[in-house]
Structure 1
Amino acid sequence: MAHEITSPAIINFEHWKTQFEGAADQYQQAHPYPFGVFDNFLDIDAAREAMHAFPGVQDQGWIHYVHVNEKKHGLNKMDLIPEPIQEVIKALNSDEFVHILSNLTGIPGLIADNSLEGGGLHQSKRGGFLNIHADFTVHPHKRNWRRRVNVLIYLNENWLPEYEGNLELWTRDMKACAQKVLPIFNRCAIFNTDQDSFHGLPEPIKCPEDMTRKSIALYYFTEETAAPRKRATNYQARPGDGFKSVFIYLDKQMVSWYNTLKGWLGIDDKFVSKVLNFLNGRKK
């Protein structure tokens, strides 16, 4: 469940309550699916403190997702996340924020995921990418929790367009990229996660070697009476991917198998990180 109301020094709840109410119709009718982009999202001091506290990829606890469809790093253990970022996460998982998020999206009964399954902190180095996909549909450890909304907070100061790393939103038929969102500092991207809400950052990041693309990723669910249809992350080839599409499909099947195994055995993504690191000859 969500946390209690957190200090307004992290985020101005009253401001965003008003902004979200005004943006609700535009959000819910957006193309190619419901989404919105909101700049200057966190209190500026809180955002800078979170950015400067962002741990390095080699620090303890990072999960290294390195396979055909992605090259990124994630950290979802709250006790390993620096306190300034923990405070941001608590604010965005608070009852007050979840309530105004429901108003924006038009989805009643949203639930924050305090386990940060698949979310938390995301970070990609130069050359990192995430192929176009629709997200997993059901929480791996809560069979009746249907995934509904993503909230992404970008913490990338001085990020330039030539660095790539755009969040791309693709049409539901996967024929074209409909929107691109540059991951600039203190920008928040929010979008619904339906069966065909295809998105990703498929172009390899071209930032300098001493920079990384950083984001806080939080996912919200609804508890359904009947267990919703469960499906793993659904990676998709883009038009023009050619023979690469075969590898995208095969890798997607492996991810689906792993997702099923994770639910059966109760394992987490730390396990798959170790397997992928082993297969890629990495020593951690």
Structure 2
Amino acid sequence: MNRIDLANLIFEKISSSKESLKNQFQNSNSSIGYFFIDDLLPNDIAMQIHNVFPKPEQMVLKKSIREDKYIAAQMNLYNPVLEEIIYAFQDKRIVAIIGEICIILNPLPDEYLYAGGISMMGNNQFLNPHLDNSHDKDRNLWRVLNLLYYVTPDWKEAYGGNLELWPKGLKEQQITIHSKFNRLVVMATHNSSLHSVSPVVHEGFRRCVSNYYFANEPLLETDRFHVTSFRGRPENKLSDFVLRTDTFLRMALRKVFKKGLKENPHVYKKND
């Protein structure tokens, strides 16, 4: 199926649940707004997306104290199905209806997949609590929504690799959203949308298709520019200190070098 066929199915599914999704988002919007919808695509299509994911050695490993995961954004290197599903979420109808649900005026998709694309996490891999970079790759638009579509069949919540939201900070209990097969999660991104992925504790890979939407204005009046800002998990005070120092130093560099010292490689470099 191509991106238009996939977008047709996604649009129909979201439209049929539009009011309940609005309620989900509005009920959480005072902290970190989010909604999720299950059975987004017919199961055989979701399974096909899963089946064509590349092997770990064909992806980029990002491993540090901040995170440990496999990612890919150069989509022309992989099975075309993956590029089609990613860009199905950038269909004008999908962008518009998700904007309506989240009450965001004129959200914009990102054709360059800055920090988007596909990701995979296996046993002992993780993503520490963090705030996403506030802007797009050119620092012209504000990042406002994170779309995560999970495609690993039979992935149990007990396996880890689940999205965690920390609406009241790291001193309070997180909200855990199971990275369930064929589930789409949409969450707001702003200066308070601290989130993480719990460590995987299973001999298998949790696979995800991700997109970001941007806008000309931030979600909150209090939002300010920031780099991707990591924290340690509540039980790891030393990591938290190191990561907060790391964020402080990278922010200081950005005051001098607006776009950083080097180009972020996590983009889809297309041939003109």
1:258-277 mapped onto 2 (5 Å cutoff): 263-264=259-260, 267-269=263-265
User: Structure 2: 5+ residue runs without aligned partners?
Assistant: 268-272
Deviation at 1:251, TM superposition (A): 3.6
Kindly indicate whether residue 193 of structure 2 is the aligned counterpart of residue 200 of structure 1.
Answer: no
Q: 1:172 to 1:81 in 2, by over 3 A?
A: farther
Q: Deviations over 1:59-81 (max 9, x none)?
A: 1xx33211111001110112123
Any idea what SS the aligned residue of 2:4 has?
A: coil
**2:90 pairs with one of 88, 93, 105:** 93
Evaluate the alpha carbon distance shift between residue 57 and residue 252 of structure 1 in structure 2; reply closer, same or farther with a 3 A threshold. Answer: farther
Q: What's 1:36 paired with?
A: 35
Residue in 1 that maps onto 2:66: 69
Q: Give the unaligned 5+ runs of structure 1.
A: 272-284
2:13 corresponding residue in structure 1: 15
Name the CA shift for 1:5/1:157 in 2 (closer, same or farther; >3 Å). Answer: closer
Do the aligned partners of residues 99 and 63 (structure 1) sit closer, same or farther apart at CA in structure 2, a change above 3 Å counting?
same
Structure 1 residue 86: deviation in Å?
1.4
Q: How far apart are the structure 2 equivalents of 1:87 and 1:24? A: 27
The secondary structure found in structure 2 opposite 1:36 is strand
C-alpha displacement of 1:259: 7.1
CA distance in 2, matches of 1:246, 1:95: 42
Structure 2 counterpart of 1:46: 45
Normalized against structure 1, the TM-score is what? 0.82
- Over residues 103-152 of structure 1, what are the superposed CA-to-partner deviations in whole Å (9 max), with x where a residue is unaligned? 111101000001001110011121100001111101122x2210000010
CA-based RMSD: 2.6
Residues 229, 244 of structure 2: 8 Å contact kept? no
Q: Of 122, 126, 130, which aligns to 1:129?
A: 126
Contact 1:138 1:229 in 2 (8 A): no
- The answer for the alignment partner of 1:241 in structure 2 is 236
Letter in 2 for 1:232: V
DSSP 3-state at the match of 1:33: coil
Give the aligned residue type for 2:53. Answer: F
2:208 corresponds in structure 1 to: 215
Aligned counterparts of 1:9 and 1:248: Cα–Cα separation in 2 = 39
Amino acid at match of 1:11: L
In the alignment, what sits opposite 2:270?
none
Once residues 158 and 22 of structure 1 are traced to their aligned partners in structure 2, the CA distance between those partners, rounded to angstroms, is 25
Aligned-partner residue type, residue 50 of structure 1:
I
C-alpha separation between the residues in 2 aligned to 1:267 and 1:205? 30
Instruction: Report the CA distance shift for 1:105/1:94 in structure 2 as closer, same or farther (over 3 A).
Output: same
Mark the CA change 1:216 to 1:262 in structure 2 (over 3 Å): closer, same or farther: farther
CA–CA separation in structure 2 for the residues paired with 1:222 and 1:191: 14
1:107 match: secondary structure: coil
Paired amino acid for 2:238: F
2:23 aligned partner: 25
- Alpha carbons of structure 1 residues 255 and 172: separation in structure 2 relative to 1, 3 Å: farther
What are the within-5 Å matches in structure 2 for residues 113-192 of structure 1? 113-141=110-138, 143-192=139-188
- Displacement of 1:266 in angstroms is 5.7
